[in-house]
Amino acid sequence: MNRPEPHTETSEPPATGTALRADAAGAAADAVPRIGPGSHVTLHYRISLEPAGADVISTFGGRPATLTLGLGQLAEPLEQCLLELAEGQHVVFDLPAERAFGPRNPALLQRLSRAVIEAHSEPGADFAPGDLLEFPAPGGGRYAGVLKELDARGALLDFNHPLAGQPVRFEVRILGVL
């Protein structure tokens, strides 16, 4: 997957201690660290819904996030946006649904029996539409679904990513790259 082009970009001065250097031919080369696969990155980021602009998550105004690319700490399409960005850059990407979290998949709406729901929950637990329910996955993992409907026989759960089918804006300010 190729990195999408940023919608807007602001140039911020390089972080303290970075400088431009000259190569052997005398041309200036960029010494500012850039993000690549496996990079450790400290950044502020915001994911918001388009076109309404409601924030889903934001670290701006708070503590920045630190992550390692390729470990699944950030969704793969969002990681792709970060590749080749330099320390100090502030960039905004507008991602259509298919480039962000993908389209909604009707096959991921699943009806489960009440017995399955109760077998994987606390005894006496109450549920309401909108609740997030977790289930064991083969291999020891877990996956979650949003409860859409519940009746005496069972439940309808949506296992799509909550942002699937929605365009998003991904804003990042790269604070450090190792």
pLDDT band at 139 (very low <50, low <70, confident <90, very high): confident
In angstroms, the CA 87 to CA 68 distance is 15
| pLDDT at residue 38 is higher than 50 | yes
Per residue in 148-157, pLDDT tens? Answer: 999 999 999 9
Give 21's pLDDT tier (boundaries 50, 70, 90).
Answer: very low
Domains of the chain, start order: 8-102+164-177 (3.10.50.40), 106-158 (2.40.10.330)
- Two tokens, residue 37: 């696969």
Q: For 24-37, b where at least 16 C-beta lie within 10 A, e where not — what string?
A: eeeeeeeeebebee
pLDDT of amino acid 103: 96
Q: Is 70 exceeded by the pLDDT of residue 30?
A: no
Amino acid at 49: L
